[in-house]
């Protein structure tokens, strides 16, 4: 609740002419916005472009924001639409060969840590790789459900579906993600997950 109040206070400050207050809003939401954009573009540079575009669009339309709604839901709707438009423009195939190549790149793991930590880090990096292999719709849905603290209804507002459809889509996305993980880890997946 505190978060919502503060967002609203910042929005009011921006509308009153204090543009710098928008910088705080950007700082607060940039990680999620960028991650969501990355789920669509699968490329950091393009994700930054989409995220930046979304923040600028949100700034321009800030006057139309209804104060009884959650700023995050409104902002993520803008990101979702912007990313979709970006994908349509680029006609990006989300399961191109590049994705497979990326899947083969295993990031360097730090040394000197205890085995459990390394194993856990590996799990998360494999999980990230598996998410990258999913379609934009599936990976964005998983990200929104696990990282945005939005309810199923609010996610439904963003993606333009009802809560029950979101529930079904989420189940399918998680099933596909589990399959990708098993594909990456092979026999080890059963022990690691």
Partner 1 sequence: MEDNFKISDEELWRFIDGTSDETEHNRIANALENSLLLQQRFEELMAFDTDLKKLDLEMPSMAFNRRVMDEVSVNIKPVALKTKVDSRIIYAIGALFTISMLGILIYAFSTSDFGVQSSAYTIDLNSSFERYLNRSTLYVFLLIDIAIGLIFLDVLLRKKSAQKKENHLL
The answer to the question of residue 17 lying near partner 1 (CB under 8 A) is: yes
Among 7, 10, 32, 74, binds partner 1 (CB under 8 A): 32
State how far the Cα of 104 lies from the Cα of 90, in Å rounded to an integer. Answer: 24
Among 6, 13, 30, 161, binds partner 1 (CB under 8 A): 30
Among 13, 43, 48, 179, binds partner 1 (CB under 8 A): 48
- Please say which residue, 106 or 193, places its beta carbon nearer to partner 1: 193
State how far the Cα of 9 lies from the Cα of 31, in Å rounded to an integer. Answer: 21
Of 80-88, 93-101, 104-112, 165-173, the window that binds partner 1 (rule: CB under 8 A) is 165-173
- Tell me the angle at which helices 20-41 and 2-15 cross, rounded to the nearest 10 degrees: 110
1, 71 contact by CB (below 8 A)? no
In sign, the C-alpha dihedral spanning 80, 87, 55, 24 is positive
State how far the Cα of 146 lies from the Cα of 150, in Å rounded to an integer. Answer: 8
State how far the Cα of 172 lies from the Cα of 180, in Å rounded to an integer. Answer: 12
Q: Which parts of 54-93 interact with partner 1 (CB under 8 A)?
A: 55-56, 59-64
Provide, rounded to whole angstroms, the least separation between the CB of residue 35 and partner 1.
Answer: 4
Provide, rounded to whole angstroms, the least separation between the CB of residue 112 and partner 1.
Answer: 20
φ and ψ of 141, to 5 deg = -65, -45
User: If DSSP codes are grouped into helix, strand and coil, which group holds residue 106?
Assistant: coil
* Binding positions for partner 1, rule: CB under 8 A: 14-15, 17, 19-20, 22-23, 26-27, 30-32, 34-35, 38, 44, 47-48, 51-52, 55-56, 59-64, 123-124, 127-128, 131, 142, 146-147, 152, 167-168, 170-171, 174-175, 178, 181, 193
């Amino acid at each position: 609740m505190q978060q919502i109040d503060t967002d609203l206070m910042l929005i009011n400050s921006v509308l009153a002419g204090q543009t710098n207050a928008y910088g705080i809003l950007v700082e607060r939401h940039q990680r999620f916005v960028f991650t969501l954009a990355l789920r669509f573009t699968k490329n950091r540079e393009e994700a930054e472009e989409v995220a930046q575009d979304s923040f600028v669009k949100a700034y321009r339309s800030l006057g139309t924001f209804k104060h009884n709604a959650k700023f995050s839901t409104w902002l993520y709707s803008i990101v979702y639409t912007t990313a979709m438009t970006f994908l349509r423009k680029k006609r990006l195939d989300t399961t191109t060969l590049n994705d497979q190549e990326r899947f083969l790149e295993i990031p360097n793991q730090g040394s000197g840590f205890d085995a459990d930590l390394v194993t856990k880090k590996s799990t998360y990096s494999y999980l990230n790789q598996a998410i990258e292999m999913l379609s934009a719709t599936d990976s964005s849905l998983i990200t929104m459900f696990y990282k945005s603290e939005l309810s199923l209804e609010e996610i439904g507002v963003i993606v333009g579906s009802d809560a029950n459809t979101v529930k079904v889509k989420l189940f399918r996305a998680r099933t596909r993600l589990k399959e990708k993980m098993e594909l990456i880890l092979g026999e080890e997946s059963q022990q690691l997950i």
